[in-house]
Structure 1
């Protein structure tokens, strides 16, 4: 409960009215800015189409603009798919790492009754645990060697 009290106190100290007012104001301003960005984009595409129409038949110019937009959309879809694939790979690797840790904890819990019954094994376990705690304390944290 000691770690929860500061969080609850900070939540109570937040001015909810000011937060919602600022959130609404930002939402309206971003919506207006987004509208003008969309307008600028549409005007730019139109200008590009008109420019191309001066050099070729207007139907061909419109087809070129549509094809260019299609290619840009495909590039963005490919980028999103690659990002999703990389994220899934990271999730699988993290799950595999956590699975290994969970198996070690399960093995330790399974072996705990045998270690407790045997005085020599209990002494070795206590010494090993103490060495691990001291090692992490003096080396500056929980370096596991995975990022080396």
Structure 2
């Protein structure tokens, strides 16, 4: 309880005395199941834009890569775009193995950015795991990231009109 009161007191003082222009990790855009978070570091000098799928921190989007972190060790992966069956499994790259992730880069990322759905087959020791991502809204998220994930303007409150009597 004491800890909570200290945090509440700290929050109250920061609100009164030092209101930052923007939050360190601020959601700035949403399109379908995709949303973009703006991260600011080094006193606002470094801005990072990361897209996420359905608030899943394991699925992260940048301007030219989609990374899906895996819990299990994956030995191969295949993609099927727009209702097509996934092709032949390909081995994971050394970078994917190091990240423990499946990465869409290059031509795979180009196909992804033009598609409405992708099916992912991942070969693990337990068998083939199947995943699907809905890509509706992906192009909007990519466009927002490409523009530097600007902070949206605050909604303007309508002015009340005074009636003269």
TM range (shorter): under 0.3
Scaled by the length of structure 1, the TM-score of the pair is 0.24
Query: Which structure features the higher share of helix residues?
Result: 1
- Larger Rg, first or second structure (1 or 2): 1
- Larger strand fraction of residues: 2
The normalised TM-score by structure 2 is: 0.22
